[in-house]
């Protein structure tokens, strides 16, 4: 096996990451965001390469939201896609969508639950046979999806910086 994650059809990987979310205030891309709570956490993801360039998977993120008062904790379950445009390049793009449940309203004034999605790019840097260091940044959005006209529909947009490790199995 070559160094790093083996990216061929049928291969599988697991990755672990740490992240830090920096709020993007106001409208970004097409989505409003009025939440302004930094957060950090850990994530674990599994993926299966359905082609030499594309992996589909599942993941979970555990986050702590730094609200300034009593912190809020959440768990997020998500489906993922990761695409390597060129087989030998370390660059990949990815996306995710899922569901988040928290122990208090997040963002403040919101609900205990939110839908989430994100997209971004990263680097897959080989460090040993079957092992890679991973670095990335994602645009991450959470919202309870109750609609623009609902007064209880706060959302948050953020730049989520992350690093981690991946292993092929």
pLDDT in tens, 47-87: 999 999 999 999 999 999 999 889 999 999 999 999 999 88
Closest C-alpha among 68, 60, 64 to residue 17 = 60
Distance from C-alpha of 49 to C-alpha of 128, rounded to nearest angstrom: 20
- Whole-number Å distance between alpha carbons of 63 and 103: 11
Question: For residue range 99-145, what is the model confidence (pLDDT) as tens digits?
Answer: 999 999 999 888 899 999 999 999 999 999 899 999 999 999 999 87
Q: Which two tokens stand for residue 4?
A: 């790093």
Asked if residue 109 has a cis previous peptide bond (ω within 30° of 0), the answer is no
Output the pLDDT for position 1: 40
CA 52 centroid distance within chain = 22
Cα torsion angle, 123, 77, 58, 64, sign: positive
The pTM of this model reads 0.91
pLDDT of 31 above 90: no
């Amino acid at each position: 096996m070559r160094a790093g994650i083996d990216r061929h059809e049928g291969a599988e990987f697991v990755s672990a990451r740490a992240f830090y979310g920096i709020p993007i205030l106001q409208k970004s891309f097409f989505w409003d965001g009025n939440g302004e709570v930094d957060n950090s956490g850990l994530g674990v993801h599994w993926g299966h390469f359905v082609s030499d360039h594309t992996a589909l998977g599942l993941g979970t993120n555990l986050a702590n939201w730094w609200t300034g008062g009593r912190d809020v904790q959440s768990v997020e379950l998500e489906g993922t896609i990761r695409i390597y445009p060129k087989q030998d390049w370390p660059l990949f793009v990815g996306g995710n969508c899922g569901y988040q449940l928290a122990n208090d309203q997040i963002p403040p004034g919101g609900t205990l639950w939110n839908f989430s999605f994100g997209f971004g790019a990263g680097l897959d840097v080989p460090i040993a046979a079957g092992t890679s260091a991973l670095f990335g940044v994602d645009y991450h959005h959470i919202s309870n999806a109750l609609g623009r006209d609902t007064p209880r529909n706060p959302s948050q947009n953020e730049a989520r910086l992350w690093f981690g490790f991946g292993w092929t199995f």
